[in-house]
Amino acid sequence: MAVRSQLQTVGTRNFRHHMGAAVLVLVALLAVIQGAAGSRSSFTARSLLQDGSCSESRPCPDSSNCCSQYNFCGTGDLYCGTGCKNGPCTGTNPPGGTGWASFFTKSVFEGWFPNRLQNFYTYEAFTAAAAAYPTFGTSGSVDDQKREIAAFFGNVQQESGGLQYIEEIDKSGDYCDETKTQYPCAPGKAYYGRGPIQLSYNYNYGECGQDLGLNLLANPDQVAQDGTVAFKTALWFWMKRNCHGAIIGNPPSFAGTIRIINGAVECGHGTDQRVENRVSAYTRFCSTLGVQPGTDLRC
């Protein structure tokens, strides 16, 4: 509809008039921004209508588009350049560090886990724990780093119910393997799953505690009492049992991380919903970060 005819429209067509005028104003505004930036990228009303559909934790509907620093979806320097939040970004990220810290921000973390236990599983607890593992999320290419963050938290999603649980729901087993005499079970203590990756069994508590300087054999409840300790145990398992190596390998193997974490239960017997849950979370997180997940997904 022409602008002149819009201005002459009355009655039931007023709404269409206002919408058309709004689009024209936005087009003019972006044209000014485009000129100021000296960009050769073209803007259309079609690209404008995508604004507001993305954020740090929500990718653009079209995976070939970038989410700009102003939450617009599109292509070109003004979308994929400086401040780009996710998608195939080409510019520099906002200040925040190197490695995972340059793209895995607090807003991304909170967007991935909106229903988390907010007084326990905090971004600050994660960052404090990750400082103890300097090669986690910092090894290889940026794509490798993004896949590792997505893989770690994809498994965390399944293990902790989206960071809603600190301890295993079914506590009927004590998870005491008496053949592991190096890490004897303490009387009256149970080594069921605790933390983001549900650290389990006396030998894992014993070895992990030894490396962290904590007596987790005598007091496994420490994992459930401090968010930073909980994340440290999860990262300890991830690095010590080499989930790290599986996901940054060539090719990257998310399936390998599942085998390490719970392969004896979930792998090797056809479709398992728990595996599907992990893969769904991992691929969704990869999409948010603008990285391909690889093809070795299911164990």
Average of per-residue pLDDT across 92-104: 67
| Closest by Cα among 82, 52, 76 to 64 | 76
Mean pLDDT for 240-266 is 96
> Alpha-carbon distance 170 to 181, whole Å?
25
The residues that bridge with 86 in the sheet, in sequence order, are: 67
- The alpha-carbon radius of gyration of the chain (Å, integer) is 24
pLDDT digits (tens, 9 = 90+) for 41-86: 333 333 333 445 676 546 677 767 777 878 888 888 888 777 676 6
Same domain, 110 and 235: yes
Annotated catalytic residue, options 56, 159, 168, 266: 159
Alpha-carbon span 92 to 33, nearest angstrom: 19
- The CATH number of the domain where 68 resides is what? 3.30.60
The CATH number for 282's domain is: 1.10.530.10
| DSSP category for residue 221 | G
pLDDT score of 276 more than 60: yes
44 domain residue, yes or no: no
In which domain, by residue range, is 267 found?
98-299
Q: If you average pLDDT over residues 128-143, what whole number do you get?
A: 95
pLDDT in tens, 141-168: 999 999 999 999 999 999 999 999 999 9
| Same domain as 254, residue 285 | yes
| Position 29, amino acid | L
Overall average pLDDT of the 96-113 stretch: 88
Bridge partners (DSSP) of residue 66 are: 74
Question: Per the domain annotation, does 144 fall within a domain?
Answer: yes
pTM for the predicted model, two decimal places:
0.70
d(Cα 90, Cα 45) in Å, to the nearest integer? 24
Residues 280 and 153 in one domain: yes
Q: Do 102 and 35 sit in the same domain of this protein?
A: no
Query: For residue 31, is pLDDT > 60?
Result: no
Looking at the structure, do residues 262 and 131 belong to the same domain, yes or no?
A: yes
Q: How confident is the model at residue 108 (pLDDT cuts 50, 70, 90)?
A: very high
Q: Are residues 12 and 137 in the same domain?
A: no
* 209, 271: one domain: yes
pLDDT of residue 292: 97
156 and 288 in a single domain? The answer is yes
* Other beta carbons within 10 Å of 62: 14
Q: Please tell me whether residues 281 and 199 are part of one structural domain.
A: yes
Q: Is residue 45 part of a domain?
A: no
User: What pLDDT, on a 0 to 100 scale, did the predictor assign at position 247?
Assistant: 98
Is residue 159 part of the annotated active site? The answer reads yes
Report how far residue 123's alpha carbon sits from residue 265's, in angstroms, rounded to the nearest whole number. 30
Give the phi and the psi of residue 199 in degrees, each rounded to 5.
-55, 130
Poorest-pLDDT segment among 81-85, 105-109, 179-183? 81-85
Whether the bond between 251 and the residue before it is cis, its omega within 30 degrees of 0, is: yes
User: Is 258 in the same domain as 133?
Assistant: yes
Let me know whether 146 and 182 are in one domain. yes
Q: How many domains does the chain have?
A: 3
Which pLDDT band holds residue 5 (cuts at 50, 70, 90)?
Answer: very low
Q: Which pLDDT band holds residue 232 (cuts at 50, 70, 90)?
A: very high
Q: Mean pLDDT, to the nearest integer, of 24-28?
A: 40
pLDDT of residue 63: 63
Of the three residues 59, 77, 94, the one that is the final residue of a domain is 94
Same domain flag for 216 and 71: no
